[in-house]
Homo-oligomer: A and B are copies of this chain.
Amino acid sequence: MIQTPYLLFLGDAPDALSGKVAQGIKDWRPENCVGQIRMEGCKADIGLADLTLEEAKARGAKTLVIGVANRGGKISQAWKKVLVAALEEGFDLASGLHNLLRDEKDLVAVAEATGQVLHDVRVPEVEYPIATGEKRRGKRVLAVGTDCSVGKMYTALALDAAMRDMGQKSTFRATGQTGILITGDGVPLDAVVADFMAGSIEWLTPDNDPDHWDIIEGQGSLFHVSFSGVSLALVHGGQPDALILCHEPTRSHMRGLPGYKLPSIEAVRDLSLQLAQVANPACRVVGVSINTQHMGEEEATRYCAEVEARLGLPTVDPFRHGAARLAEALVAL
């Protein structure tokens, strides 16, 4: 568990897009952010107060989160000046980078000397159990996709927010690096050892109040041959009561797999439901989330209406339309 609130480190971000992790944290958990810290030449600005380490500390920040993709996959010496100073100022560090904090000897040495913690959210820090398949109390919904990177995390975060707006008990359950940094907790599923994948998701979504919903971030796709095993571990470990289908309609092929066409939303509905009902026979598909970022307003509205008519399920783009209709479908279940 990463201590909040955060100071968001944007470093020398070459453009706005490279700061998207910081942007995500600010969008979804503004209450966790006291400000941003940027180096000379930084081209990203997520619209928070620019603070020094001292100022952020005075405002209560506990962890400096690396909210920027690094250049060349390396934690640079220029970054390290700030990271070392942050440790010395009493901050923990958190990062989702491939280049692990723990692999940098100087950072490790300073962290030990100052008693601060280095969080590499890409690396599991828990010994997860083997899944038991036992029925758990409380409700769970899982976002499943026709492909990778179609908006499953966004959908789950928007659904969680909509549920809480409606006064429902709801917790977003992160299964990837960005989600873990946003909420401070979760399972980096793609880095979990095969035998423990489903068990890690059972661990993430334990017994809860009967009217509480875990909103589980999906990963990959059952139809994506590189990562389908990860997706199935979510379906069986998550034991969902409800599924939300996620789709991006303009893709010409599966992400990273030029020879593979996307499955239809119906194919994902049928396969996901069949597999989910192995672990929870009561599971239902409750709605569809469409990522219409590459469509105009009119085309997006028409496409959602068409899918809604075809599948008989509430269909929205949570970014354009909000996720209230998906939340209502959950509550109605």
Which residues on A are within 8 Å of B, measured CB to CB?
130-135, 189-195, 197-199, 222-223, 225-233, 236-237, 239, 256-257, 259-260, 263, 271, 274-275, 278-279
Are B133 and A259 closer than 8 Å at their CB atoms?
A: yes
17 additional A-B pairs beyond A229-B230, A271-B275, beta carbons within 8 Å, are A130-B256, A132-B256, A133-B259, A133-B260, A190-B193, A191-B194, A192-B194, A193-B193, A194-B233, A195-B227, A198-B227, A225-B237, A225-B279, A228-B233, A228-B275, A229-B233, A271-B274
Are B259 and A135 closer than 8 Å at their CB atoms?
A: yes
A231: which B residues are within 8 A, CB to CB? 229, 232
Q: With A and B bound together, what is the CA distance between A243 and B257 in angstroms?
A: 24
A225: which B residues are within 8 A, CB to CB? 131, 133, 198, 236-237, 239, 278-279
Closest to A189 in B: B194
Q: With A and B bound together, what is the CA distance between A278 and B279 in angstroms?
A: 23
A199: which B residues are within 8 A, CB to CB? 226
List the 3 closest pairs (A to B, CB-CB), nearest first: A229-B233, A225-B236, A229-B229
Q: With A and B bound together, what is the CA distance between A225 and B130 in angstroms?
A: 10
A229: which B residues are within 8 A, CB to CB? 194, 197-198, 229-233, 236
